[in-house]
Structure 1
Amino acid sequence: MTTMVEQGMVEQARPGTAAAVRRHELAAFLRHRREHITPEQVGLPRGTRRRTPGLRREEVAQLASVGVTWYTWLEQARDIQVSVQVLDALARTLFLDPSERAHLFQLAGQVDPTPATSCPSITPAVRTILATMEPMPACVQNSRYDILAYNRTYGLLLCDLDEVPPEDRNCLVLSYTHDQWRSSIVHLQDTQRLMAARFRATMAGHLAEPAWKLLLKRLRAESAEFRENWDRHEVVAHRSKRKDFDNPYVGRISVDHTDLWLGPELGPRLVTYAPADEESRQRLEKLHAIAVERDGVRVG
């Protein structure tokens, strides 16, 4: 009698299954990209006896630091496991752009662990909305608290965000490790505890995803405060609330925080900070003027 596990193994191996189709698509995609990378692009001599268009399999394997046999099996659509580290190396070796990189990871059935610095939801229209909302601070965040886009006022609200490396533009990382960001939050301990609880609640749906695990590992390694809050095992859903910031340019600002989701799923969201009183409105206008002036200096 065939067990459910055995049936699943047979289904996995059958040529017409979704897994098999993805493997063949992955193999074809890798071959196509390999054949369109010239030796000169990766610093290799072309030679006079080269008959293969683009790079050879062994050259890709060497550049990506993987075994030639293993890479050959990958292009032959063999049923082998591909780690995210290998996929990252292949993406860099084959000069994949963000869309091609995302396609590679999707075909391999893996989640890209690289912190998000771009997002399909960040369309020109969304950027226009962010700019139009000025002087009100606004940004787009994903469910991991990565800051994907922001307007000029938000860029100076808690620190000079343009000076922060893209891989560090994460509200959790900044609130636990960035001195100026931390000093701008009036109720820092309460905010940190609330964010850790929100992160735990949201991560329940992403426990197996490398990007989430890497972020959690980084926070636990870099912040004792985060470890303490995380070990409380508190959970809380997203909700609107009033926030107070001590801005180094204009002083105390009180705002009402509202999340506007950009799709049917609780993924990327537009985060807005409306002034809570007239004094805060005037200070946000002043902060916006400073941001516009600084932007003009950088462009000039």
Structure 2
Amino acid sequence: MNSQTRLQALSTFLKSQRAKILPQSVGLPAGTRRRTPGLRREEVAQLAGVSTTWYTWLEQGRDIKVSASVLDCIASALQLTFDERKYLYALALDTTLGVSLNQSIQPQISPALARILQELRHCPTIISDRKCDIVGWNQAASHVFLDFNQIAVEERNMIGLLFTRKEFQSLAVNWEHFVKGFLSIFRTYYGQYVEDEWYDHFIEEMSRSYPDFARLWNQSEVSTAPEVAVEFRHAKAGKMLFHLTSLQVQGSADLRCSIYTPAPETATEMKLNKLMEQDKKLPNHIDFGST
């Protein structure tokens, strides 16, 4: 991400967060002459204890000197979550948060993680890297989503598949809610790896090819582990309800484990078991860095 793109991303983020805050929620009168939702710039500056001019420059994406202590005040004024704060700091301070960007290192799944993936027999599970490229999955995921073995390695990007594959679009009852959960995770990576221009190229290409992506990307939140309850309408099994748990895998490889747990007191697990009994040929897939 070059400097201009980074500052533009910072500007967009600050504006969107400011628009979310109701004046009355921070002790300010709602007023009747507000042309836009949320707080005014001068009100954010007042709450943060900085000058209106300085905050205006920051929000406009000007290349100005910023300190972590002042960002703390801005984050508090905008009521940012922990993940949103990290995103703000990464963009404003132009830091990769100490993470190496060595592109030659391929993500690897450890034997222990591979065992976990295999043991989660009745929970569709996907392992993805920091670009949301899918590097591993289990049999349950192949039955509920699609057989990822039939997709070329370079096309196994979860964000891309959500927009290119009709299977995903018809599977999720609330497709937009489903997509936003992944985009909120993807945005944390976007802020974390501010020096990697791959993200800018990917977002530009997706926005150009899929108008819905551009719209949902602009609406997306920032979260490393969004709580998502999803309802699927499976072509063979019918209605299935899952709770998505997204876990960051500890280790040198920046991997994420997305586990879909069948909702309790539903027939989801029974339907999944029946699906898997009907076709036992779909294997687990574990990528040990061959891609």
TM above 0.5, yes or no, is yes
Describe how 1:124-163 pairs up with structure 2 within 5 A. 124-163=111-150
Q: Residue 275 of structure 2: which of 287, 291, 294 is its match? A: 287
Determine if contact 2:247/2:257 at 8 Å carries over to the other structure.
yes
Describe how 1:34-53 pairs up with structure 2 within 5 A. none
Q: Sequence identity, in percent?
A: 18
* Residues 256 and 231 of structure 1, relative CA distance in 2, 3 Å threshold: closer
Determine if contact 1:241/1:258 at 8 Å carries over to the other structure.
yes
Aligned to 2:198: 211
How far apart are the structure 2 equivalents of 1:206 and 1:179? Answer: 30
Offset, 1:291: 4.3
Moved more, 236-245 or 140-149: 236-245
How far apart are the structure 1 equivalents of 2:131 and 2:282? Answer: 29
Determine if contact 1:243/1:257 at 8 Å carries over to the other structure.
yes
One-letter identity of the residue aligned with 2:141:
Y
How far apart are the structure 1 equivalents of 2:184 and 2:120? Answer: 29
Aligned to 1:112: 103
Offset, 1:158: 1.8
How far apart are the structure 2 equivalents of 1:149 and 1:217? Answer: 26
* Residues 232 and 257 of structure 1, relative CA distance in 2, 3 Å threshold: closer
How far apart are the structure 1 equivalents of 2:255 and 2:101? Answer: 20
How far apart are the structure 1 equivalents of 2:187 and 2:282? Answer: 37
Q: Does 1:270 align with 2:261?
A: no
Q: Following TM superposition, where does structure 1 have runs of at least 4 consecutive aligned residues deviating by more than 4 angstroms?
A: none
Offset, 1:284: 1.4
Q: Residue 158 of structure 2: which of 171, 175, 181 is its match? A: 171
Aligned to 1:195: 182
One-letter identity of the residue aligned with 2:172:
I
* Residues 290 and 217 of structure 1, relative CA distance in 2, 3 Å threshold: farther
How far apart are the structure 2 equivalents of 1:229 and 1:123? Answer: 34
How far apart are the structure 1 equivalents of 2:171 and 2:226? Answer: 21
Offset, 1:280: 0.4
* Residues 231 and 257 of structure 1, relative CA distance in 2, 3 Å threshold: closer
Determine if contact 1:259/1:270 at 8 Å carries over to the other structure.
yes
Cα deviations by residue, 1:106-138 (Å, 9 ceiling, x for unpaired)? xxx96539xx9x522x12332222111102211
Q: Residue 243 of structure 2 aligns to a residue in which SS?
A: strand
How far apart are the structure 1 equivalents of 2:199 and 2:177? Answer: 23
* Residues 192 and 124 of structure 1, relative CA distance in 2, 3 Å threshold: same
Q: Residue 259 of structure 2 aligns to a residue in which SS?
A: strand
Describe how 1:8-87 pairs up with structure 2 within 5 A. none
Offset, 1:237: 4.3
Corresponding residue pairs, total: 184
One-letter identity of the residue aligned with 2:182:
M
Describe how 1:208-247 pairs up with structure 2 within 5 A. 208-232=195-219, 234-247=221-234
Offset, 1:294: 4.6
Q: Specify the structure having the higher radius of gyration (Cα).
A: 1
* Residues 236 and 132 of structure 1, relative CA distance in 2, 3 Å threshold: closer
Cα deviations by residue, 1:46-83 (Å, 9 ceiling, x for unpaired)? xxxxxxxxxxxxxxxxxxxxxxxxxxxxxxxxxxxxxx
Using CA pairs below 8 Å that are at least 6 residues apart, which structure has the higher relative contact order? 2
One-letter identity of the residue aligned with 1:201:
T
Q: Residue 112 of structure 1 aligns to a residue in which SS?
A: coil
How far apart are the structure 2 equivalents of 1:245 and 1:142? Answer: 24
Structure 2: tracts of 5 or more residues without a match:
1-99, 285-291
Offset, 1:179: 1.1
How far apart are the structure 1 equivalents of 2:177 and 2:253? Answer: 24
How far apart are the structure 2 equivalents of 1:140 and 1:295? Answer: 15
Determine if contact 1:259/1:271 at 8 Å carries over to the other structure.
yes
* Residues 217 and 111 of structure 1, relative CA distance in 2, 3 Å threshold: farther
How far apart are the structure 2 equivalents of 1:295 and 1:172? Answer: 23
One-letter identity of the residue aligned with 1:158:
F
